[in-house]
Amino acid sequence: MLRESKRWWALGLIALAQFMVIMDTSIIGVALPQMQADLGFSPENLSWVFNAYVVAFGGLLLLGGRLSDLFGARRMFSTGWLILLVGSVVAGLAGSVAVELAARAIQGVGAALIAPSALTLLMMLFGATPKELTKALALYGAAAPAGGTAGVFLGGLITEYVSWPWVFYINIPIALLAVLATPALMPAGGASRGSLDIAGGLTVTAGLAAAVYAIVQAPEVGWASAQTWLVLGGAVALLAVFLAIQAGRREPLMRLSIFRTPNLGAANLAQVLLGGAWIPMWFFLNLYLQQVLGYSAFPSGAALLPMTILIMIGMIVLAPRAIARFGPKAMTVTGLAVLAVGMGWLSLIRPDGNFWVDVLPASLVAALGMSLAFIPSLGTAISSARPEEGGLASGIVNTSYQVGSALGLAAMTAVAASFGADQLGNRPALTDGFSAAFLGAAAIAALGAVLAALTLRAATRQETAAEAQPAPIG
């Protein structure tokens, strides 16, 4: 086992991985207009600078988790960083739309290897001690909102004072640092014997990618369009073929019986609905600040800081203590309920509102709910699986959150547009649309709280006692 201090340095590198994976989804936002002018993007395909990354990331997460189990989490972690590095270089150097989108997809491939292997390494380092695992998951979870907010700040700073390619080049030194530090910090081993289910990998990747593609395109082409339903039908057919392949193979990509593991399916459902509620809220809060309150990129990013700081404090300080005191089920249910209240409060925004009344109090309540629900549902989803299937469990929970995020954002975008969010310049109509999206996201969170209460199994006294044992950091 690594020395105690080295384990926490390793956790820092794992948290950095989560930070970067999330930052790469938000850092490009402010840079899009300059990219459009320089590369000749049409208004219709500009969104694919974001979507190409998300489709590759979401579609390959299960395969990334299986590769982590077969070839070792440390090896896949390093490989993912190398692929992300290559994609970042190509994205920065791109001189055409096609090259830029291909490079963003390559970045998504790298992220799909990094994310599940990072969680597997975290379990290898801290999984033996529940109290330490809760703290480690808290630090890991807090890196996500930090990455999202840092992306908004850095994207605006780099675009204004340097140039848009540097939103990609910033990944290069960090990726090099990660590749060099991984052999010294991360535990070896974890690889298992077995064959790679190529047919299963192809069908699930194509199925998930098609589903995400249909979801992110639906607000643009219409939910009732033939394209949307044909692609969704193809995704369902591919995923059905995948399940049939898994049922018939001795060494499947995903052992279907894993979902009979107590709490694994329920915790993943909570992650789906948590992502489906949180990402739309974060997205439309940004739009309200900029399109209604008139904030530019920097004040808009600053307005997100109180919420981000509270999430980080909640995940690192409050959530571990609350889990030890009340158990993961109670905190997952409570967190989702508090998140629903916060977003319901946000729906009261006004066209002539201000940050201090309309945004700050409600966003802090929502942030508290997110911080309380994320860690216990994530920890339950991962720790419920067998140790040798840690990569698979990590891939499943990452996929759950990403697919939930894509579904929630697409659905709430359609809701917002139907209530006026597509009427740029019309502040009352925009406010009505954003308010409807907040109410819809609140309903998703409330549904998550109810389903978590009905489906999650409460921790035993022995499990709760084990989590309460002290585990000093150092």
What is the DSSP secondary-structure string of 402-464? HHHHHHHHHHHHHHHHHTTTT-TT-HHHHHHHHHHHHHHHHHHHHHHHHHHHHHPPPPPHHHH
d(CA 39, CA 91): 11
Question: What DSSP line would sit under 313-369, residue for residue?
Answer: HIIIIIHHHHHHHH-HHHHHHHHHHHHHHHHHHHTT--TT--IIIIIHHHHHHHHHH
260 Cβ contact partners less than 8 Å away, ≥ 6 residues apart: none
- Amino acid, res. 250: R
Q: Are 269 and 399 in contact (CB under 8 A)?
A: no
- The per-residue pLDDT for range 118-128, each reduced to its tens digit, is 988 988 888 77
User: What is the per-residue pLDDT for 134?
Assistant: 80
Number of CB atoms found within 10 A of residue 162's CB: 12
CATH of domain 1-196: 1.20.1250.20
Q: Where are the alpha helices (DSSP H) in 347-389?
A: 360-383
Superfamily of domain 259-474: MFS general substrate transporter like domains (1.20.1250.20)
User: What is the per-residue pLDDT for 193?
Assistant: 66
CATH 1.20.1250.20 residue ranges of the chain are 1-196, 259-474
Helix, strand, or coil here: 16?
helix
Q: Which two tokens stand for residue 413?
A: 């975008």
- The per-residue pLDDT for range 319-358, each reduced to its tens digit, is 888 988 999 999 999 999 999 999 999 999 999 999 999 9
- The per-residue pLDDT for range 61-87, each reduced to its tens digit, is 888 888 888 888 899 999 999 999 999
Q: How far is CA 158 from CA 272, 384, 427, in A?
A: 33, 42, 29
d(CA 192, CA 251): 12
User: What is the per-residue pLDDT for 403?
Assistant: 79
Q: Give which of 299, 280, 272, 294 is closest to 352, Cα–Cα.
A: 294
* pTM attached to this predicted model: 0.80
Which parts of the chain register pLDDT below 50? Answer: 1-2, 461-474
d(CA 373, CA 326): 13
User: What is the per-residue pLDDT for 4?
Assistant: 67
